[in-house]
Amino acid sequence: MSDSKENISDPIKKNPPKPAKLVGVKGMNDLLPADSFIWEKLERSLISLAKTYGYQNIRTPILENTGVFLRGIGEVTDIVEKEMYSFEDRLNGEQLTLRPEGTASVVRACVEHNLLYDGPRRLYYIGPMFRHERPQRGRYRQFHQFGIEALGFSGPEIDAEIILMSQRLWDDLGVSGLRLEINSLGNEVERLAHRTALVEYFETNQALLDEDSLRRLKLNPLRILDTKNPSMQDMVEKAPRLIDFLGEESLSHFDQLQEILKANNVVFKINPRLVRGLDYYNLTVFEWITDQLGAQGTVAGGGRYDPLIERMGGKPAPACGWAMGIERIVELMKEQDIVEDRSTQCDVYVLHSGGKTVVPAMVSAEVLRSAGVDVMVHASPDGKVSSFKSQMKKADASGALFALIIGENELETNSFLLKDLRKSGDQFSYQMEDLLDKVIDAIVSQSD
């Protein structure tokens, strides 16, 4: 008694402070039901695409030892220099990194498990990647990629295959307005000759280089070509082109790739400035770009990375792959209005009047589900029986084709009501023993 009096007189106990709201990490998004159905649809298309070309799924951990990316991506890259979430595991002192991309991890796994022992592999992955970038439209700190890796193949037909795959994906999804740019980075000797010419050129134009580029001049001059600095564009345009340094073998690889693409009606443009942000590429590189997403217009990119497997400690083997940003393609699908209406939650919504009607409602739902029908049973938020009117509203909002109603009358006569919610609005009464036949008939006749 005295306790409760104390409670009332103590303002803090009477009005305890409301717990502060918790929020997610900046740049890392929740995917909510309003959008998740688009992602599920896209994921189904991606899995089916991979299957169409004989690619198998691989899932690597989100955390890797930091060395995997230092070696796999290269130290003088945007990702390694400034975008990685790296930290020390305080429990054992290990240096770990949240994966910023998929290729290094996939190659690490292939080497570790000797996956190429009996020949080449065609693999794909879907999952989250992490980069500490400034969050903006199309650029997040946790984002998702679908990626393809074809390991152990050297011929240009595989470069072509993975590009054809991406073209097929856009066609399957119905997205338009993506343009393909390709380039060849040649082999190491050719790149070295080009690099020497490039350094010479940049040194004579040193006054025009920004701070980033001056630093890169010594470490990775090729990356200067990637600059987005408008005041450097003119100078960069006139720099020596790698393509002019390619030997016969590299040119023939590039020519064969183009021939296969043309024969399959894939439209592309050669962009001699395309170098890609990662260190491990050689020969073919490509990007799919749109003008409809503002500054973040690169939807997918990839290329050949023949030196990587050896660099990651494996037996030398050629490889190529590509990765697509899922957020950007979802954004494009929305932009182009090719996303169907929100998918329905169920085929049948079951209404009941509480009490003893709950049991037949729950049993009917399970019988229908066993036959492949998607069913939701009404559940009230407060434990009280909702009025049929309010249940009917929920049924309608669920997108169900039919409402199945079990009230007191139905309970007594061992029957149920089936109401067409989408077309006629008609409602019929049936005996419970005919449940499956009647519901399935109704669904089938409505889809005709």
- Determine, following the binding rule CB under 6 A, whether residue 289 of this chain makes contact with ligand ATP: no
Dist CA 79 CA 279 (whole Å): 10
Phi, psi for residue 158 in degrees, rounded to 5 = -75, -35
Q: How far is the CB of 80 from ligand ATP (least distance, A)?
A: 12
Q: Which is nearer to ligand ATP, 298 or 386 (CB)?
A: 298
Q: Which is nearer to ligand ATP, 293 or 442 (CB)?
A: 293
Please list the residues that pair with 418 across neighbouring strands.
404, 428
Q: How far is the CB of 64 from ligand ATP (least distance, A)?
A: 16
Compute the half-sphere exposure of residue 151: CA atoms within 13 Å on the CB side of its CA. 29
- Determine, following the binding rule CB under 6 A, whether residue 227 of this chain makes contact with ligand ATP: no
- Of 304, 328, 352, 419, which one interacts with ligand ATP (CB under 6 A)? 328
Q: Which is nearer to ligand ATP, 299 or 395 (CB)?
A: 299
- Determine, following the binding rule CB under 6 A, whether residue 298 of this chain makes contact with ligand ATP: yes
- Of 327, 331, 347, 410, which one interacts with ligand ATP (CB under 6 A)? 327
Decide: helix, strand or coil at residue 259.
Answer: helix
Which of the stretches 111-119, 137-145, 204-212, 267-275 binds ligand ATP when contact is defined by CB under 6 A? 137-145
- Determine, following the binding rule CB under 6 A, whether residue 140 of this chain makes contact with ligand ATP: yes
- Number of H-type helices and E-type strands within the chain: 17, 16
- Determine, following the binding rule CB under 6 A, whether residue 303 of this chain makes contact with ligand ATP: no
Identity of residue 73? I
Task: Give 183's DSSP letter.
Answer: E
127 closest CA partner among 296, 303, 326: 326
Applying CB under 6 A, the site for ligand ATP has a residue count of 18
Q: How far is the CB of 312 from ligand ATP (least distance, A)?
A: 17
- Of 77, 97, 105, 145, which one interacts with ligand ATP (CB under 6 A)? 145
- Determine, following the binding rule CB under 6 A, whether residue 323 of this chain makes contact with ligand ATP: yes
Which of the stretches 54-62, 117-125, 244-252, 292-300 binds ligand ATP when contact is defined by CB under 6 A? 292-300
Decide: helix, strand or coil at residue 228.
Answer: coil
- Determine, following the binding rule CB under 6 A, whether residue 101 of this chain makes contact with ligand ATP: yes
- Of 35, 43, 81, 133, which one interacts with ligand ATP (CB under 6 A)? 133
Q: How far is the CB of 301 from ligand ATP (least distance, A)?
A: 4
Which two tokens mark 211? 């701070």
278 closest CA partner among 131, 386, 172, 395: 131
CA-based angle 237:277:174, to the nearest 5? 95
Return the residues of window 266-285 that contact ligand ATP according to CB under 6 A: 277
Please list the residues that pair with 422 across neighbouring strands.
none
Dist CA 116 CA 314 (whole Å): 9
Which of the stretches 131-139, 148-156, 185-193, 410-418 binds ligand ATP when contact is defined by CB under 6 A? 131-139
- Sequence-separated contacts (24+) of 390-396 with Cβ below 8 Å: 391/351, 392/351, 394/349, 395/349, 395/351, 395/421, 396/421
- Determine, following the binding rule CB under 6 A, whether residue 108 of this chain makes contact with ligand ATP: no
Rg of the chain taking only CA atoms, in angstroms: 29
Q: How far is CA 222 from CA 111, 278, 350, in A?
A: 29, 11, 64
Which of the stretches 62-70, 134-142, 166-174, 354-362 binds ligand ATP when contact is defined by CB under 6 A? 134-142
Kindly give, in sequence order, each residue whose CB lies less than 8 Å from that of residue 57, ignoring residues fewer than 6 positions away.
Answer: 47, 50, 123, 124, 125
- Determine, following the binding rule CB under 6 A, whether residue 325 of this chain makes contact with ligand ATP: yes
Q: In this structure, are residues 213 and 202 in contact, taking their beta carbons and an 8 Å threshold? A: yes
Q: How far is the CB of 424 from ligand ATP (least distance, A)?
A: 46
Burial of 320 (0-12, 13-18, 19+ CB in 10 A): buried
Q: How far is the CB of 340 from ligand ATP (least distance, A)?
A: 23
Q: In this structure, are residues 119 and 50 in contact, taking their beta carbons and an 8 Å threshold? A: no
- Determine, following the binding rule CB under 6 A, whether residue 131 of this chain makes contact with ligand ATP: yes
Q: How far is the CB of 207 from ligand ATP (least distance, A)?
A: 27
- Of 139, 179, 311, 369, which one interacts with ligand ATP (CB under 6 A)? 139
Q: Which is nearer to ligand ATP, 138 or 360 (CB)?
A: 138
- Determine, following the binding rule CB under 6 A, whether residue 301 of this chain makes contact with ligand ATP: yes
Q: In this structure, are residues 111 and 45 in contact, taking their beta carbons and an 8 Å threshold? A: no
- Determine, following the binding rule CB under 6 A, whether residue 386 of this chain makes contact with ligand ATP: no
Residue numbers at the binding site for ligand ATP (CB under 6 A): 101, 131, 133, 138-140, 143, 145, 277, 296, 298-301, 323, 325, 327-328
